[in-house]
Amino acid sequence: MSAPLPVELLDWGRPRLRDLPWRRTREPWPVLVAEVMLQQTQVDRVVPRWERFLDRFPDPVACAGAPVGDVLREWSGLGYNRRAVNLHRCATRVVALHGGLVPADLDALLALPGVGPYTARAVLAFAFEQDAAVVDTNVARVLARRAGHRLTAGEAQALADGAVPPGQAWAWNQVLLDLGAVVCRAREPRCGECPVADGCAWRGVGPDPARGSAGVGGPQSRFEGSDRQGRGRLVSALSDGPVPADRLAEVMGWPDDPERAGRVAAGVRADGLAVSCGSGYRLP
């Protein structure tokens, strides 16, 4: 059993919190948009896109009322475009079932498209300031290293749940996120700067217990030349207009492999990122 994280961590972390724009609001929709964008995209890329997206879609009603193609255009360049489709579906569900207001209930949040355990708890903690614990890859890394062994998803969540100081969930979770992102990093962790190193079972010695632990992301597969790259190129091209079927291979970067282009394009359509039009594709 790992030593519990001391509440004094707040005193260390509060003055060191990164100045991120979504930390200046408690409005549920902007918080939800930020958390969806941050799922698989680096913070510095999200900052300008989050602000621009909210200028266009300031609330669930505006997002749900727009064609999904418009949402995809605003998302273009962030990658993993299915997140944009899910966010549009999420907004539609919020309007239909919750009167256009993001719910403040864990089960209701988990029932929304594209909202998983982390995102749901992040909305509860960061928008509604409920005593919810968030476990992303950074927090999971801190917990596994502190415990000194790999953790299951349930074990990591239980440890995080038990550590939240009552009434301090917003600050506590933000501090833990920054501790994992800035100090307890995946590569070259700064153990000498860690404010809770005394209770850490690992401290940089021996195999890293965070590797393979639930919630800790592994290395991504190669992007260059991948199906993901071709998908992204197609969605980006569709933002400018329809793409004929005979240009798919060229647009996706595989001019000599039209069979692969057709297969991947069919997947793009199946995921709701494109629809057929005549002999080609367009945004929904």
To which H or E segment does residue 230 belong? helix 227-238
pLDDT at 99 over 80: yes
239-252 CB burial, b ≥16 within 10 A, e <16? beebbeeebbbebb
Pairing of the two strands 243-244 and 280-282: antiparallel
Whether residue 217 is predicted with pLDDT greater than 80 in this model: the reply is: no
Residue with tokens 């970067």: 253
Q: Which residues are catalytic?
A: 35
Q: What's the sign of the alpha-carbon dihedral 258, 259, 261, 262?
A: positive
79-93 pLDDT tens trace? 889 999 999 999 999
Where residue 278 falls among pLDDT bands split at 50, 70, 90?
confident
Question: Residue 105 has which token pair?
Answer: 């209930």
Q: Give the tens place of pLDDT for each residue, 26-73.
A: 999 999 999 999 988 889 999 999 999 999 999 999 999 999 999 999
Q: Is the pLDDT of residue 239 over 70?
A: yes
Give pLDDT, residue 16. Answer: 96
What tokens appear for 64 in the block?
A: 């749900």
Question: What percentage of the chain carries pLDDT values higher than 70?
Answer: 96
Per DSSP (E only), the strands in the chain are: 243-244, 275-277, 280-282
